[in-house]
Amino acid sequence: MVLLPHGYPCSSFQYRHFMAALGDRWRLIAPDYPGFGYSGTPDRSRFSYTFDGYAEFLQRFTEAVGLTRYAIYLHDYGSQFGLRLAMHAPDRVAALIIQNGDIYEDQHGPKYRPLKEYWADPTEEGTSRLYAAVSAEGFRDEFVGEIPDRLVERVCPDLWTLCWALLGTPERRRNLVHLLADQVSTLDWFDRQQAYLREHRPPTLIAWGRHDGYMPEGAARAYLRDLPDAELHLLDGGHWALETNLDEVVALVRDFLDRVHPSRLDW
């Protein structure tokens, strides 16, 4: 079983090709979180739209569908939710696949600067900038704004088009802005997540797109501080490596899982 928590501002749609490529050997599950994709949008009185809320959702989801042993794909926001799940039930984790999901603040890239300025001083002007980012153009920038021009054509425009079509309602925009503001809470988890890796040493593959303004190459190498036995592969791609480097990632993951989490379609 391979669990695929998605990133911001996407949904399970980001794994469409990856699931097709691995589905002959493994069961793969990619849930849409509340307020994302085709999932419902609960009232804020019922769901917090915070990192704590989404991490708890992923834990409850795995219990509800009866997952007892799995590899976790850690990407973007999904890396936070997936790592907290791993910490919650470390005995269930067969392996980790880390693809542009960071937990080392000293390796944050320049694209974090506007967020960090807002976290330090959450003004109305800063909130307006967050709303501007939660837009059709802002979503496009999330997917192709930093990769070399030669790679842009590899990224399907359906990604930002579908994201905006699904997330552009006033209610969902408010919830996403709230989540972006709450991202500062993840910093307090980094030390605990690093300690989990040192203590449990799950088999780990790191496949990383080096053209990432949030999480540059150093953010990938930093994992070797706590997981010196991890496999590290730096790819000529971006944050959304399943778009720019799908075949490479699939080949690496198939080889890795064959060794550490052999295929069992009955899981």
Dihedral of alpha carbons 10, 14, 19, 22, sign: negative
Per the CB < 8 A criterion, the answer to whether 126 and 117 are in contact is yes
Residues 64 and 55: their CA atoms lie apart, in Å, by 14
pLDDT at residue 33 greater than cutoff 80: yes
The mean pLDDT value of the chain amounts to 97
> In this predicted model, what pLDDT tens digit does every residue of 130-184 receive, in sequence order?
999 999 999 999 999 999 999 999 999 999 999 999 999 999 999 999 999 999 9
CA 48 from centre of chain: 19
> In this predicted model, what pLDDT tens digit does every residue of 86-132 receive, in sequence order?
999 999 999 999 999 999 999 999 999 999 999 999 999 999 999 99
User: 């791993």: which residue's tokens?
Assistant: 86
Per the CB < 8 A criterion, the answer to whether 152 and 144 are in contact is yes
Span 240-252, average pLDDT: 98
User: 């994201």: which residue's tokens?
Assistant: 163
